[in-house]
Each structure stands twice: as structure tokens, then as C-alpha cells.
Chain A
């Protein structure tokens, strides 16, 4: 299934500045695997050492949080949109952003 993955600003430095990537996948897990296969640096920002999705990053299938669907096993339909939504804290002074070396 062709799906679009929307890349949030803090992660665009790892995707050659692209704000969305098209992938072919049948589940959320496959889509993220395809994404991290193409853009290796994304892997450690999305997943911790145990291979689990980091808890300060949420994945949405269209407008639903995948934690309330079937998590990474959630099946995809053609033209679904996956959003990676990280926690951001800028407000008063954007001095603290999460961005790993």
C-alpha cells in the first residue's frame, strides 16, 4: 500500500530535509522499517536500544494514535498518512530542543 509518512521538523535533518516520504507498506511496522532503511539516522531517534518506539515520539495513522489501534501491527490502507509527532517544548525562548548528535 502506498502511504505517506510526515516527518516533523526536528527529524528533517535526517531525511535530507524532506518533510514527507512515500513508502510501500502493509502495516505501521513495515512503513517505519522502510523509512529507517532508507534513512538510517532516523532509527535511533525513533527507537531505543531495545528496539521499542521511543515514548516521546507518537505515531498517528491519519488522526488516530496507533497506541489506541493495533500499535505497530496496525494495518494500512492505500493513501493513508502516518504522522510522526514528537514532543516539542519551545515557547518562551527556544533554547531547549531535542536533537541528538
Chain B
């Protein structure tokens, strides 16, 4: 004889009714909608800038099962924007920190943690138990991996990405519209030197884009409103403008087109041209260490110290006696330098200055060295009072 059992997700407790009352009194949500949220299983890839507001609002809204994929630990520099973590969490795994914050906001949410890097070997397995995937990652290989896994499994991918003051959001759902590869068939090529000076992000920007991802996820669960499937939302925080572009499904898309060639997950690092290295190291240039430069200063050895950072970085900290020639200006200002002099070039971490040294050597400068590790090394090894950034 079969027994009738009611799963806990099939009804709300008295506490939950009170907790979600502001949802329940809206016809667009109501009891039916809140139960859909309770039964929903959403996977958040990344508990960082985008993942923080996303997970917080999904938890508050009563999503029954929240998966989080993040293997990182909380860093001091994360706190400017990753609001699911706080100062006491620095040094702890992001997953632990996120779990605790979510439990405080809404103990009814079941959090399933995956403290691992998402790879082609584990993605399909991790994704299979969730209905919706929300992508909050920070690199191209993972974005393509998430896309392809969602296409293969037939799951919607709620996409958000940011750059400084700009954001993008959409939903890639191959069953009903384009996928990420329809928009960007290929990633930017490798060999790109990450631009430390051009980096950075306005802390609140991923907050806005992550919240947009949360709204879209909730609308998908509830089955209401008009989703961002087939639309690319562009957000410009500086000008406070939202724009919208049409996204079309590409019939020749290798992942979701009429004749797909992506039938399994591939090596995405290779696809993006990164062979296990995050940055392509610049050509080896002659180097000198921070203590060696300090010694030259102490011994009054004549040399010229060139700082190739940007003016706003020069304001944060500088090595005494340095002259500022931002990297972009080196070609037109190199006549300010004398190739007969001993020259040491530095930047923040040693990457931009290596480029500058390479350029100047090609221009005929012979007595030139790169300060290994830049001002960060100077702060670590010579002057601990220098702030790091």
C-alpha cells in the first residue's frame, strides 16, 4: 500500500509564511511562486563580486537549494565589493564565509558547497543536480566551460560580467535563444599583457550586475516577466545608462547551432590559449632586485630610476628619486633618458616595467634593468612603511 508523503518543499511552515509575507501578498509571486522558489535549485559559480549579491538575494528570497562553487580564500582586497564576506573572514575559505552569511540571512536555505575549481572533469557532474546556473566567474576559460556545460545539459546560464564601470547581463539558454558562443565564438587571444593600470573595478558595480542576475534567476523560477534571453543588457555606471542589444541565436554556433561540434567539454585553457599560465610572461629582460637598488642608492652609485606607472598610482606611493614616465608615454618620452646612464625601470609588480625595458632595449638602451617585483617588492624587502595596493 502506497503511503502519501508530502515533501517539505511542498508547503511553507508558519515561519516561512511570515518570513516571505511580502512575496506572498503579491499576485506575481503568491504561495505558488514562493513554493517554486523553495523547490528551486540554483548553482552560483563564484562567491565573489557578482556571486555575493546574487547568493544573498537568492537566499533572502527563499531559494530552497543554493549550490556555490568557489575554492578561493577571502582576501583583504575583496572586501571593497564582495559583501557576503566581512573583515573577520579574511584568510578563511570563501565557501565557509558565504555559508555562514547565508545561514544568518535565511536558515531555510540548503547550501551545497563545492570547494573546487570548476573543470571539464567535474562540471557536468556538479551542474546536473541544479535547475539554473548563474555565472559569476572572472576568466574566459571558465565562462566558456560554463556555457558549454549548460548547453550540453540543457540548463539556463544567467550571465553577468563587469569591467571597471561597465557591466553586461543576459541569460544564455540554448533551448530558447542564443548561448554565450553565439555572441562570442572565440575568446580574446593569449599573449595579452594584463593591464594592471587599466584594471580595478568600482566596488558597487558587481553589486548592481549581481542583483540583476538575481532578479533574472527569480523570474525564471517564477515563470514571470520578460527575461533577458536573447537580449544583452549593457550597464554604464558612469553615465548611469542602461542599453539593450538584440542577441540572436547563431545557426552556425559550434555549441548550440544546427550542427553543433561541441559534444563534450574540452580543455578550455587551451581553447583560450593559456597553457596553464594566467599571464604570458614577458621576454626575459635583465633584472635587479629591490635590495640591490637600495644598495646602489646607499653607495651613491649614479643611476636613473624610472617609474612607468600611472599618475594616480604615483600618488599612492613612490620610490624616492624616481621619475614618472607612464608606460604609454615611454615611446615619445624616451629622449628624456640618456642611454649612457644606468637605468632601472619599475612599476607596481614588475610586469609593465619589463615591457618598458624590452622596448627600450630594442631602441638601443643597453645599461638598463627591470626592478623585479616592483613597488610591491620594495615594500616587502626594503621599506615596510610603503603601502601596498
Contact = CB atoms under 8 A, between A and B. Distances in A.
Interface of A: 8-10, 13, 19, 54-56, 58, 60, 63-65, 67-68, 83, 85-101
B136 A9 contact: no
Given A85-B232, A89-B140, A90-B163, A63 B192 contact: no
A65 B165 CA distance: 23
Contact of B193 (A8, A93, A99): A99
B198 A10 contact: yes
B138 A91 contact: yes
Interface of B: 46-51, 70, 72, 78, 135-140, 143, 160-166, 168, 183-188, 192-195, 198-201, 206, 232, 234, 236, 238-239, 243-248, 250, 278, 328, 355
B184 A58 contact: yes
Contacts of A87: 140, 183-184, 187-188
A89 B161 CA distance: 6
A55 B140 CA distance: 14
Given A85-B232, A91-B162, A97 B198 contact: yes
A67 to B, nearest CB: 8
Contacts of A96: 138-140, 194, 278
Contacts of A58: 183-184
B72 A92 contact: yes
Contacts of B160: 91
Pairs A-B, 4 closest by C-beta atoms: A92-B48, A99-B195, A98-B188, A92-B138
A95 B279 CA distance: 10
B245 A83 contact: yes
Given A83-B245, A95-B199, 18 more contacts: A13-B328, A65-B246, A85-B168, A85-B245, A88-B163, A89-B138, A89-B161, A90-B201, A91-B135, A91-B160, A91-B206, A92-B50, A92-B137, A93-B49, A94-B49, A94-B199, A97-B195, A100-B193
B161 A88 contact: yes
B194 A9 contact: no
Nearest to A98: B188
A58 B72 CA distance: 32
A96 B187 CA distance: 12
B193 A101 contact: yes
* Among B78, B185, B198, residue most surrounded by chain A Cβ atoms (within 10 Å): B198
Nearest to B274: A96
A89 B246 contact: no
Contacts of A86: 188
Contacts of B246: 63-65
A67 B251 CA distance: 12
Nearest to B234: A85
Contacts of A92: 46-51, 70, 72, 136-138
Contact of B199 (A60, A63, A85, A97): A97
18 contacts: A9-B164, A19-B239, A55-B184, A63-B246, A65-B246, A83-B234, A83-B243, A87-B187, A88-B161, A89-B138, A89-B139, A89-B143, A90-B201, A91-B162, A94-B162, A97-B199, A99-B194, A101-B193
Contacts of B248: 65, 68
B351 to A, nearest CB: 10
B50 A63 contact: no
Nearest to B231: A63
